[in-house]
Amino acid sequence: MTPFDAYTKYLALKNHFTSDYDYFQYGGKVSARQDAFERRRDKYQFYKLSKKKDVEGFLIANFIDDNSNKWIGDLNDKESEDVYNKWKGRQESITYLYKNDLDKMDNDLDLNLKVIDGQYPKLLQLYQFGTVSIETLVILNKVVNYIPHWTKNITDHIIWPEHRRRILKYEPFVKFDPFRMKKLTLERFTA
């Protein structure tokens, strides 16, 4: 991958996670010009990024982390590499991760998803405390489609919309077997 390719990948993924731009709809294409790239003061950062084996995965991992609006200079440190390694581990064991996260929830699925008096449901609280992963939120939404209910009933209009955006924007990147995950969910909550 060339540094310019890393630059366009960075722009496309950053736009995907921070705006209405859809990485998949546009095939990761952005309007970027080589001459504009050459004039950037931070182009050296993209040279370093281009040397990574999995540029796309590295960027996704860091954009879904707490701050999706990261500057390229913030991505070339040990912390960003640690974020990527943890993300990669979650991807490689997605079924195991999901099953373990389900075990951390209340035995009644409805209690995990119910919005009471406009407050955050238990599942969202578990995510905020770092008890369950964002991948579990994505998968469970595909299984039971809870996001419309949460959006309608959660009264917070500042933090919830950011969580919602992150979950929905990350969804197409999470690879899993929907039938297996539905089966695991049914086994866990119908005892």
pLDDT tier for residue 175 given thresholds of 50, 70 and 90: very high
Report the distance separating Cα 125 and Cα 132, nearest Å: 9
Kindly state the tokens that stand for 5: 């390719």
59-93 tens-digit pLDDT: 999 999 865 566 777 787 888 899 999 999 999 99
Kindly state the tokens that stand for 30: 């952005």
pLDDT tier for residue 111 given thresholds of 50, 70 and 90: very high
Report pTM.
0.90
Report the distance separating Cα 114 and Cα 169, nearest Å: 23
Kindly state the tokens that stand for 10: 């960075």
* Angle in degrees, 0-180, between the axes of helices 78-92 and 94-103, rounded to the nearest 10: 90
pLDDT for residue 74: 72
1-38 tens-digit pLDDT: 999 999 999 999 999 998 999 999 999 999 999 999 99
128-166 tens-digit pLDDT: 999 999 999 999 999 999 999 999 999 999 999 999 999
Return the CATH architecture of domain 3-91: Orthogonal Bundle (1.10)
Our CA dihedral for 22, 13, 161, 189, rounded to 10 degrees, sits at 90
CATH code for the domain defined by 93-189? 1.10.220.50
More confidently predicted of 183 and 76: 183
Task: Please report, for the chain, the start and end positions of each structural domain, with discontinuous segments joined by +.
Answer: 3-91, 93-189
